[in-house]
Chains A and B, each alone.
Chain A
Amino acid sequence: MAAEPRKPPLQFFLKLRRALGGKAGWGGLALQGLFVAVLVWIGYEIVGNARGNLETQHIASGFGFMSQTAGFGVSQTLIPYSETDSYTRVFLVGLLNTLLVSVVGIVFATIIGFVVALGRLSPNWLISRISGGYVELVRNLPLLFQILFWYLAVLSALPSPRESISIFDAFFLSNRGLVIPKPVGHEGLVAFAVSVAAAVIGCLWLRSYSRRALFQRGRVVVVWPYVLALLLGVPLLAMLVFGVPVTFEIPALRGFNFSGGTRVTPEFVALAVALSTYTAAFIAEVVRAGILSVHKGQMEAGASLGLSRGSTLRLIVVPQAMRVILPPLTNQYLNLIKNSSLAVGIGYPDLFSVFAGTTLSQTGQAIEIIAITMGVYLMISLVTSAIMSFYGWRVARSMGG
């Protein structure tokens, strides 16, 4: 053949065309461009319309209100806050409260969920029925109702501060919440923290050393006495050298309430308990489904290797089940975060309550505040989702799949 081979078209443009225009080629690209333009134009019209209408109705707009003084109190603040702070500070206070209850809720929901799922799969008749009953009872009642139940039931059962239940005269339980001694850091705190960290790192190294010895040379090295010595000895030594790192401020009843100490409010407890027990019921079902999706031959194989039921579950079944469990588990986490906005029903000062509630009604700037709040919940959820995806990717990789 004398004819020269036809030059292939530039790969880059081919790929670009396919990626942007699909099968229709450049025409498809134009259409997509037009579609995006129409979307942008609709968005522009909506914003313009809203602005115009707000102006004709003389409703304040813009984000200038964020620096104004809030002028109202908040019952639970993780960062210093007073009435003279700005709405931006209120926003941060609410955001942190939302994150706090979400994180606590997720941790406990996961623990309870796994325990209940394992309980439901247990060969013990009583345990499996109790677990099953828990799931059916909790997941079939409305969440807001459960939050109110915990709040009002817990509250009416507890005594007033003056007759509070005290434990060692340091912990006080009353209808104002649980008051616990507050740790106050001293000069030795940094040295103490460093020594604890060093001890933990040492222990981790010991663990990997013993595993290496077991897997590579088949030798069992007993390390736990050293671990114990490290964990107790090093921090104790640091305390002797640098002084006591932390003392505790004991709460005392003064007037209406306790002064000193740290307080866990009943609103927080009720919300955290309701969110974690409710979500745990769903997580239990997700975990159960995941475990059942692993072929029972795996369980039998574990048993024939001489592993106990617990070890088989922990080492063989659960890691395989994780692949099935993770996506719906992420859904449950996201649900919990969003459900935390029901806090407004019992006066827990979360983001929705102090920002989309009080701040909104004081400033009247509904559009801006709702937009910010929606954006924040979206961000929290997306970040959670991303973390879970990363974890799922690692699980999949570690299993070679």
Chain B
Amino acid sequence: MKCVLAVVFAFAAGLSLQSASAQESAKAKTTLETIRARGMLSCGVSQGLPGFSAPDDKGNWTGLDVDVCRAIAAAVFNDPSKVKFVPLSAKDRFIALQSGEIDVLSRNTTWTLSRDTSLGGNFTGVTYYDGQGFLVRKSLKVNSALELNSASVCVQTGTTNEQNLADYFKSNKMKYEVIAFSTADETIKAYESGRCDVFTSDISQLYAERLKLSNPADHAVLPEVISKEPLGPMVRHGDDQWFDLVKWTLFAMINAEELGITQKNVDEMAKSDRPELKRVFGTDGNFGEQLGLTKDWVTRIIKAVGNYGESFDRNVGAGSRLGIARGLNKLWNQGGIQYAPPIR
């Protein structure tokens, strides 16, 4: 009996010690240190959304959201391939971030107040200004979302789209039936099989998902945009250094476009005497080091993924299968609202 008691006490003591030491070590290590020690960035992406995050025919992840992660990896390791991509469904994504399974969530996630405050994460910026729309069959001969009274609508659960949909139909006094699926693939499959008249999502996603339909030309996106959907990366709350690093990686890409730095001319531009370029390339000042990186951090990012405009064109814009116009996502000085604070 004494022996049993001793075991119980030892177990109890061990447990309390262990929990204390685990807490200490977690506090001592920052996200950046953890990533450096691991040699890999862990990045949460979608389960396959062409243009934003999807594996290509060779199994490499590509897309606008993927490029953000590759840019971070390039800035930290000088190697854009040192990323582990974790595909997440809409409803699992925040839990994966909270639990520490991923370091950054770059998964076409809409920035809202409640997500920014109550989910234990912070949004670092906007990679894509989007809005919610509707995809319908052309054979229905519907020209406006206001003609959708009593329609059946397919939507992905765990998205802002579900609530926007309810708001829109309610404020326009229209009836609807909602069928919510847990993944984008299930949603689009149900739409294609005729279960729903309408598929609703962010407009960029509608274009991307339309490519998965057997005959994309038979389906059209309605003109109405019923919500604001600023999509951006998200990091865990509580590590300001990591928050800054992710935020400024995107800003670096946007600033590079504004300054005309591209993947091709980056080496030439680095030799320039222009003061703002010298700051960006680290020949003047130590901005990279202030972020916990090296002086040539912007060079690394641009060599890996190009500037924001290049990434946009390659993945979702004119140079891609999606062919989405830049619209709101043009730079501020070209009629859009993409704007990054200066590097100085």
A residues lining the B interface (CB < 8 Å): 24, 27, 31, 34-35, 38, 41-42, 45, 49, 54, 56-60, 71-75, 83, 152, 155-156, 158, 160, 175-176, 254-257, 259, 266-267, 344-347, 349, 353-354, 357-358, 360-364, 366
Contact = CB atoms under 8 A, between A and B. Distances in A.
Contacts of A362: 114, 158, 162-163
B238 interface: yes
A257 B198 CA distance: 12
B237 A353 contact: no
Nearest to A266: B195
A256 B148 contact: yes
B215 interface: no
A256 B150 contact: yes
B179 A75 contact: yes
B19 interface: yes
Contact of B150 (A156, A257, A363): A257
Nearest to A53: B23
B118 A59 contact: yes
The contact size tier of chain B is 35 or more
30 contacts: A31-B5, A34-B8, A35-B8, A41-B12, A58-B117, A58-B118, A58-B120, A58-B237, A59-B118, A59-B237, A72-B178, A73-B177, A83-B167, A254-B150, A255-B149, A255-B150, A259-B150, A345-B186, A347-B180, A347-B181, A347-B186, A358-B180, A361-B90, A361-B91, A361-B158, A361-B159, A362-B114, A364-B94, A364-B114, A364-B115
A358 B118 contact: no
Contacts of B238: 56-58
B319 to A, nearest CB: 33
Given A156-B193, A347-B179, 6 more contacts: A57-B98, A71-B166, A72-B162, A73-B176, A361-B157, A362-B163
Contacts of B158: 357-358, 360-362
Q: Name the residue among B151, B181, B193, B238 with the largest chain A CB count within 10 angstroms.
A: B193
A152 B4 contact: no
Contacts of A175: 193-195
Contacts of B194: 155-156, 158, 160, 175
B167 A71 contact: yes
A363 B162 contact: no
Contacts of A74: 178
Nearest to A366: B95
A353 B149 CA distance: 25
Given A38-B8, A155-B194, A257-B151, A49 B178 contact: no
Given A72-B178, A357-B182, A358-B180, A59 B98 contact: yes
Nearest to B91: A361
Contacts of A54: 120
Q: Name the residue among A58, A73, A257, A360 with the largest chain B CB count within 10 angstroms.
A: A73
Contacts of A361: 90-91, 94, 157-159
Q: Which 4 A/B pairs are nearest by Cβ-Cβ distance?
A: A361-B158, A59-B120, A361-B91, A60-B118
Contacts of B154: 347
Contacts of A152: 189, 193
A353 B186 contact: no
Contacts of B176: 73
A367 to B, nearest CB: 10
Contacts of A363: 118
Interface string B149-179: 1111010011100110111011000001111
A30 B94 CA distance: 45
A308 B78 CA distance: 84
B1 interface: yes
Interface string B176-210: 11111110001001100111010000000000000
B1 A155 contact: no
Contacts of B118: 58-60, 363-364
A345 B162 contact: no
A114 B5 CA distance: 53
Contact of B152 (A27, A256, A360): A256
Contacts of B182: 344-345, 353, 357
A329 to B, nearest CB: 31
Nearest to A83: B166
B236 interface: yes
Contact of A257 (B152, B163, B170): B152
B5 A34 contact: yes
Given A256-B197, A361-B157, A176 B152 contact: yes
